[in-house]
Amino acid sequence: MLKNKYKSLLITILILLFLSIQIISAKKLPLSNIIITIDPGHGGRDPGTSYNSILEKDINLQIALQLEKKLINKGATVYMTRRSDVDLSSIYDSKKKRGDLYRRLLLIKENKSNLYISIHINWYGNANYHGAEVLYNQINKDNKLLAESIMKEFNNNLKSNRKIHTTDLYMYKNTTVPGVLVECGYLSNYQERNLLLTEDYQKKLSESITNGIINYFKLITKS
């Protein structure tokens, strides 16, 4: 009997020890206690931009799923506005695109996100244009800081020659939650199109975005 008591006491102590180690290690991660909503652009009835059978919505989702893994590894709580090939419009929406974007905004707010990241792919008539870039709306003073922080990673790690821009698109001017629109590259550029389709490059993009987010939180906690 006494032996059993010692046994269960020992097991309880070991469980408590294990749990406290888990809590301590979780606290050390740079994005612990941070809630991030990832918004893979387009989906379902809305393919976004395209090149033959290559659709923006598919690449957006692939990059977003890579980004989700990286952010979770750094301790963040991550939500996605979509995890499959769907759009968020309802059968009752007279304007489907607006309904889709409106529900993405609602999710960002409902998730109590500390920030959101919209993932898109660019297109331009001049096929020489290439490089990942970040767009932001001035509704929130932190948006520019986040955009600069991610852009720096794209410039340094992906050799992007592009820079940040402002955007007045519906989605970005209608939420005060800090966030940016990431245009991961140009589908209209031959080399970049091929890169964007590879898992390796999708991982590199995700890593740059994650590092940019970590640096952003370091900057805002300092100021």
Nearer to Zn ion among residue 76 and residue 147 (C-beta): 147
Smaller CB separation from Zn ion, 74 or 162: 162
Min. distance of Cβ 167 from Zn ion in angstroms? 12
Instruction: Quote the least distance from Cβ 10 to Zn ion, whole Å.
Output: 57
Q: Using the minimum distance from each CB to Zn ion, give the nearer residue, 34 or 59.
A: 59
Q: How far is the CB of 41 from Zn ion (least distance, A)?
A: 4
Distance, in Å, from the CA atom of 123 to the CA atom of 166, rounded to the nearest integer, reads 17
Q: Sign (positive/negative) of CA torsion 139, 140, 145, 147? A: negative
Work out the number of other CB atoms within 10 angstroms of the CB of residue 97: 14
The nearer residue to Zn ion, 76 or 195, going by C-beta atoms, is 195
**Angle, helices 199-222/141-157, rounded to nearest 10 degrees:** 140
Q: Which is nearer to Zn ion, 39 or 153 (CB)?
A: 39
**Distances, alpha carbon 190 to alpha carbons 61, 154, 196, in Å:** 21, 19, 10
Question: C-beta of 43: minimal distance to Zn ion in Å?
Answer: 10
Q: Is residue 61 classed as helix, strand or coil in its secondary structure? A: helix
In the complex, least distance from residue 48 CB atom to Zn ion, rounded to whole angstroms: 4
**CB-based contact 43:55 (threshold 8 Å):** no
Least separation in angstroms between residue 208's CB and Zn ion is 19
187: helix, strand or coil = coil
Give the residue at shortest CB distance from Zn ion.
120
Could you tell me the two tokens for 15? 């469980």
Contact of 211 with 28, CB cutoff 8 Å: no
- Strands 115-122 and 77-80, by their bridges, are unpaired
For Zn ion, which is the closer residue by CB, 49 or 211?
Answer: 49
Q: Residues interacting with Zn ion, by CB under 5 A?
A: 41, 48, 120
